[in-house]
Amino acid sequence: MPIEFAEVPRPDDTQRRTSRPRFGTLDTFGDWLAARQGRSRPTPPRHPRIVVFAADHGIAARGVSARPPEYTREAVRELRDGGTPLGLLADRAGAGMRIVDVAVDSEERDEFKVRRGSGPIDSEDALTREQVEAAVDAGIRIADAEVDEGADLLVPAGLGVGASTPAATLVAALTGTEPVAVVGRGSGIDDNTWMRKAAAVRDTLRRARPVVTEPLELLRTAGGADLAALAGFLAQAAVRRTPVLLDDLSVCAAALLAEELAPGARSWWAAAHRTTEPAHAVALEHLDLEPLVDLGIAEGAGTGAVALLPLLASAARLAE
């Protein structure tokens, strides 16, 4: 069955603060939240939820990251144990977290697991047609579950070695940007690794050109299970009238596809921050989203957006 989304409702942008602006970005933040809550004055989110989509990428075997491919499994374990910066920030912000294994290369099972790692996209497809539909459907179902359980603000994140390579490729494909303009240093790569990464993006773009106007085919060819699940999650969150804080490159690359799948979805999103990845800036410009802050973070993985949750709550309280 093809993936279809209901029409995305428009936020009530007539809901604006009537008092004189006093707090700059905090006023903007509060107004954005009020419009998505359908209120003249925002209220602090009571049930913010972080959803992390974890997956491995076959392209990591090409040496495009400073980390070895097996790091993804370790990072997922650490995140589940709660000792990571993201876990600590989530606790401080009072945000719940769900970790979804959609394609980690391990024997661990997950309800939404599509496969063990995605294919090396410079030479073969990331997913099969059935797998890309299953991953998008997983994102949809998880968004529905979170909203049904009371989430009133969502923070999606990706986790996986090599993820910035397909993410940068998707951004380049959808915006017509050259590979060298979207490839960053990601995990702290050196010049030789950067060149391998740029070559991987270049070769993948050649494979992806015939399907650049077809979102699911583009995800199948040049994306990955995490990016497909993120796209479904972001689109469905908008359908369900739930505000979303966008974080790093992976999330914003998926957001480009989500906007294609569910036009108007971007009106429910705010860009939390801008990372140092050049493709992230390209994606935000294409989405016409201005980041709220610039924290100088190289890799978000949810941390930048979650760090802003207390600021969002403060913005809402100042407007009360």
What are the DSSP calls for 160-189, one per residue? Answer: -TTTHHHHHHHHHHHHT--GGGT---TTT-
> How would you label 192-231 residue by residue, b for 16+ Cβ within 10 Å and e otherwise?
ebbebbbebbbbbbebbeebbeebbbbbbbbbbbbbbbbb
What digits encode the pLDDT tens for the residues 122-180? 999 999 999 999 999 999 999 999 999 999 999 999 999 999 999 999 999 999 999 99
What digits encode the pLDDT tens for the residues 253-293? 999 999 999 999 999 999 988 888 899 999 999 999 999 87
Read off the pTM: 0.94
Distance, in Å, from the CA atom of 73 to the CA atom of 108, rounded to the nearest integer, reads: 10
Residues 6+ apart with CB under 8 A from 24: none
Domains and CATH numbers, the chain: 46-319 (3.40.50.10210)
Q: What is the mean pLDDT of residues 194-209?
A: 95
Closest CA to 243 of 88, 46, 89: 46
Looking at 38-128, list the stretches that DSSP marks H as alpha helix, in order from N- to C-terminal side.
Answer: 71-81, 85-93
